[in-house]
Chains A and B, each alone.
Chain A
Amino acid sequence: MKLKNEVLVGITVVAGLVVMAVGGFWLTGRPWGQKEAQIVATFRAVGTLTTGNKVKYRGVTVGRVEQIELAPHGDGVFVSMSVQPGLHFPPDAAVLISPESFFGDWQAEIVSQSWHTDMLFTKAQRAGVLPGATMPDISELTAVASRIAGDIEVLSDRVQVAFTEETAVKIRRTIENAEAISEQLRGFMDQQTHTYSAVGGNVLASSANIRQATETAKLTAVDIRGAINGGDVRQILSNARQASENLNRFSQQLNAAGSGIPGLVSKADTTLGSIGQTAQGVNQMVRTLGPQLQQLGPTLEEAQRAMRTLDRAAAKIQEGNGTLGRLIADPALYEETQRAVVTLRRLLADLQENPGKYVGKVKLF
């Protein structure tokens, strides 16, 4: 059957128009026979987003960008999008524009603002407009990454220059030295720990010794008090005063020494040990002194008797009895004795000046 020209042309034209219409609509990616909902979002800038770019929600394509227009005063951009009807977006829904891939295709993604707390969304300027934000272009990120890579390269070169074999050896030695110092510090700390432990033990021992010495001294004081009651109080007081002064000086020296103790902690052990030994010595001395002080009583009695004998002798002398008494009581005898002494001095002086006058030749053999 041969078709008429009109039929052929008609078929061709209709088919061509259908191909254009259907093909053009199919290429847009829109769903067939479905009414779409419209949403509008506002942005500060939209990057390279263009009409026809995909609109996604949770990674699924739900629409496309329909229109991009500048805000009335140029202070923002409004993007109109058509999306599938019936979708329920989050209450804080916003639109995030970002690159879809590394090759320049962009997308608008409907998100919850809580999913991207680090993003600053442009606030909607009118009701019904979603806030929006734009991710930086991948080319910007790659440019930044390129700069960072360049800096790292420069840094690497510098490290390579600075980090020679000699540097490595020095670093290794430094690490070894640090390790040795660490070992020494650990040993020192162990030693100090032991020292402080010993010091504590010595302090305890010294405290016990001092307590014993105090008790012994108390007993001794009792004995001394008894001795004082029967002896020469003045002498004892003098000795006690002297001892007190000595103790005072000793105390001052101890104070002076004590002021340096915080800085001489390491010597405290020895000092306290010496104090402990001294306390032990004092204890022994006091113990030794106790019986001697007990023996001091008879000695004092003998001394009193000697004094009384001396007193009596002095009384006889004052009475003019005996040689000393006469010398003291008789002025003539005293004068005569004085003259005899003067004559004797003269004779001795002459004898020293002229020994030959009084002594002849002396022959021993």
Chain B
Amino acid sequence: MHWTRPFDSIGSGVLSAFGALGVFFGFAAESVRSLADVGTWGPLLVLHMRRIGVDSIPIALFLSTFTGIVLALQASYTFTGAIPLYFVGTLVGKTMILELGPVLTGLALSGRVGANIAAELGTMRVSEQIDALETMAYNPVAYLVVPRILAAILMFPIIVAFGNTLGITAGWITSINVLDMSTEQFVHGLQLFYKPFDITYSMIKATSFGFVIALIGCFQGFHTQGGAEGVGVATTRAVVISGMLILVLDAFWAFTLLQ
């Protein structure tokens, strides 16, 4: 083995990583530039808002409902005999708004929305539909990417708001029916440490998660190579990378906004 081989491998890896990053940021920059082509993406925005947002609400509500129930039960299990039960309301409200509402919704939708976008665009790539758009002088980014990203950015906070509300409601119903708490106790705990910034924080996270999920899904689908296998790989990568970035962003916002 030649002594330069390891360095060659390292250098190739670094260049590849930076090359991928460059391609990704170039794609993101192209998406931003394509915002100016409103005539292309504008008519498609509502359609994607329906598909990404409205159609995702049931899964988000289902997830949030059971999350709220579990939170209330676990809180009462933890607080029994030591902390007043009205803190169940505090824990359910704070946890749903600040953490589990946006993050669980984001993770769930990264599978549904991110995978859907990656598969759809990947299929278009491998079937050369995107190439056809480029041939017809259509801006494929403005046509395929921008409306999806904007739809995700706009609809994710709405989905998370519904999810938070239903999760807290589920926790409240669980508390008054299972934990022998009164509505007044739950609401007292819910309002005890509430700050308006909590909602803002939750919406910031939801918006960023929507942006990341849509962007990663579009990027992976847009750069799919090969046939059906490539579509599968792109879809898998979109879901995995989106999930990882959601958690990274979650920590980033906590460090940035809660310190």
Chain A contacts to B: CB under 8 angstroms? 5-6, 8-9, 12-13, 15-17, 19-20, 23-24, 27-29, 50-52, 101, 103, 105
**Distance (whole angstroms) from the CB of A294 to the closest CB of chain B:** 116
Q: A19-B162, A19-B165 are contacts. A9–B191 as well, Cβ < 8 Å? A: no
Can you name the residue of chain A whose Cβ is closest to the Cβ of B199? A24
Q: How many residues of B contact A (CB 8 A)?
A: 30
- 0/1 string, B83-122, CB within 8 A of A gives 1: 1100100000100000000000000000000000000000
A16 adjacent to B83 (CB under 8 Å): no
Q: Which residues of A contact B47 (CB under 8 A)?
A: 5
Asked if B46 CB lies within 8 Å of chain A CBs, one says yes
A12 adjacent to B54 (CB under 8 Å): yes
B83 adjacent to A6 (CB under 8 Å): no
Can you name the residue of chain B whose Cβ is closest to the Cβ of A20? B161
Q: Which residues of B contact A50 (CB under 8 A)?
A: 195
- 0/1 string, B199-225, CB within 8 A of A gives 1: 100010000000000000000000000
Bound-complex Cα distance A20 to B203 (A): 9
Of B83, B93, B158, B198, the residue contacting A17 (CB under 8 A) is B158
Asked if B252 CB lies within 8 Å of chain A CBs, one says no
B93 adjacent to A105 (CB under 8 Å): no
**22 A–B pairs (Cβ distance < 8 Å), ordered by A:** A6-B46, A8-B50, A8-B54, A9-B46, A9-B49, A9-B54, A12-B155, A13-B155, A16-B157, A16-B159, A16-B161, A19-B161, A19-B162, A20-B161, A23-B164, A24-B196, A24-B199, A27-B93, A27-B190, A27-B191, A27-B194, A28-B196
Of A8, A13, A28, the residue contacting B191 (CB under 8 A) is A28
**Distance (whole angstroms) from the CB of A203 to the closest CB of chain B:** 83
**Distance (whole angstroms) from the CB of A206 to the closest CB of chain B:** 89
Which among A28, A50, A52 has the highest number of chain B CB atoms within 10 Å? A52
A103 adjacent to B196 (CB under 8 Å): no
**Interface of chain A: mostly helix, strand, loop or mixed:** helix
A28 adjacent to B46 (CB under 8 Å): no
Which among A6, A23, A51, A101 has the highest number of chain B CB atoms within 10 Å? A23
Count of chain A to chain B residue pairs whose CB atoms are closer than 8 Å in the complex: 66
Bound-complex Cα distance A15 to B165 (A): 12
A16 adjacent to B190 (CB under 8 Å): no
B87 adjacent to A5 (CB under 8 Å): no
Q: A8-B50, A19-B165 are contacts. A52–B158 as well, Cβ < 8 Å? A: no
Asked if B246 CB lies within 8 Å of chain A CBs, one says no
**Distance (whole angstroms) from the CB of B69 to the closest CB of chain A:** 19
Q: A5-B47, A17-B158, A20-B199 are contacts. A28–B194 as well, Cβ < 8 Å? A: yes
B162 adjacent to A16 (CB under 8 Å): yes
**Distance (whole angstroms) from the CB of A90 to the closest CB of chain B:** 28
**What 5 A-B pairs come out closest when comparing CB atoms?**
A16-B158, A27-B194, A5-B50, A24-B199, A20-B161
Q: Which residues of B contact A27 (CB under 8 A)?
A: 93, 190-191, 194, 198-199
**Distance (whole angstroms) from the CB of B259 to the closest CB of chain A:** 15
B196 adjacent to A105 (CB under 8 Å): no
Which among A23, A27, A101 has the highest number of chain B CB atoms within 10 Å? A27
Bound-complex Cα distance A23 to B155 (A): 18
Q: A9-B46, A16-B158 are contacts. A23–B54 as well, Cβ < 8 Å? A: no
Asked if B193 CB lies within 8 Å of chain A CBs, one says yes
Asked if B32 CB lies within 8 Å of chain A CBs, one says no
Asked if B53 CB lies within 8 Å of chain A CBs, one says yes
Bound-complex Cα distance A17 to B165 (A): 12
Q: Which residues of B contact A20 (CB under 8 A)?
A: 157, 161, 199, 203
Q: A6-B46, A12-B57, A27-B190 are contacts. A52–B162 as well, Cβ < 8 Å? A: no
B196 adjacent to A52 (CB under 8 Å): yes
**Distance (whole angstroms) from the CB of B50 to the closest CB of chain A:** 4
Q: Which residues of A contact B50 (CB under 8 A)?
A: 5, 8-9
B46 adjacent to A5 (CB under 8 Å): yes
Bound-complex Cα distance A101 to B188 (A): 13
Q: Which residues of A contact B193 (CB under 8 A)?
A: 52, 105
